[in-house]
Amino acid sequence: MALLPILRFPDPRLKKVAAPVAKIDDSIRRLVADMAETMYEAPGIGLAATQVDVHKRVVVIDISEEKNQLRAFVNPVIEQCVGAQLGEEGCLSVPGIYDKVERAEQVKVRYLDLDGKEQVLEADGLLAVCIQHEIDHLDGKVFVDHLSQLKQSRIKSKLAKQARVTA
Ligand code: GNR
Ligand code: NI
């Protein structure tokens, strides 16, 4: 297993659209293991392959308290959205920034598991938010893209300033 470096907004590589996985093999299972280790270490409740500069449609999520309910989604597609919820979001690629984003309250997602078997999951609440946030990453979007242009430019200055202090 390995910890992978996480890209930081506004890195242009976060805008790449990830390609579907053609075959689930050991390289994909290794990627999932490395992404899980990276997510737990961060710590975060989700991670998309895009964030570690791998442009394949792979996501890991664990919203459990005990951090013992890892979920892996390959080629996830949202088939149905119901309702709306407004929740505070953060992102490992946008450290220290939190803001409210409107998402569907419930989603039905179709994906492949690590055995290449098709699965369907109905999720609501935080899991639904996280699935939508991660699929956005695979489509080259970060949660700040849902905010106003003014907020986006403030976030960019704040992160640039942080980077100067940290350097
Ligand atoms: O760790 C994370 N927390 C979080 C909180 C609210 C809504 C979404 C998230 S996902 C985020 C990890 C991350 O950046 N995934 O891409
Ligand atoms: Ni994120």
For residue 166, what pLDDT band results from cuts at 50, 70 and 90? Answer: confident
* Domain boundaries defined on the chain: 12-166
CA of 47 to the centre of ligand 1 (A): 7
User: Is residue 76 lining ligand 1, measured as CB closer than 6 Å?
Assistant: no
Question: How large is the average pLDDT for residues 83-102?
Answer: 98
Among the four given CATH numbers 3.40.50.1370, 1.10.1270.20, 3.90.45.10, 3.40.50.720, the one describing domain 12-166: 3.90.45.10
Among 11, 53, 89, say which to mutate for ligand 1: greatest number of ligand atoms within 8 Å of CB. Answer: 89
User: Is residue 90 lining ligand 1, measured as CB closer than 6 Å?
Assistant: yes
Annotated catalytic sites, by residue?
134
Prediction pTM value: 0.98
CA distances from 157 to 10, 50, 94, 97, 160 (A): 11, 23, 12, 12, 5
> How far apart, in whole angstroms, are the C-alpha atoms of residue 126 and residue 134?
12
User: Is residue 103 lining ligand 1, measured as CB closer than 6 Å?
Assistant: no
Give me the pLDDT at residue 92, please.
98
Q: Per the structure block, which two tokens stand in for 158?
A: 């704040």
Question: How large is the average pLDDT for residues 58-67?
Answer: 98
pLDDT tens readout for residues 27-38: 999 999 999 999
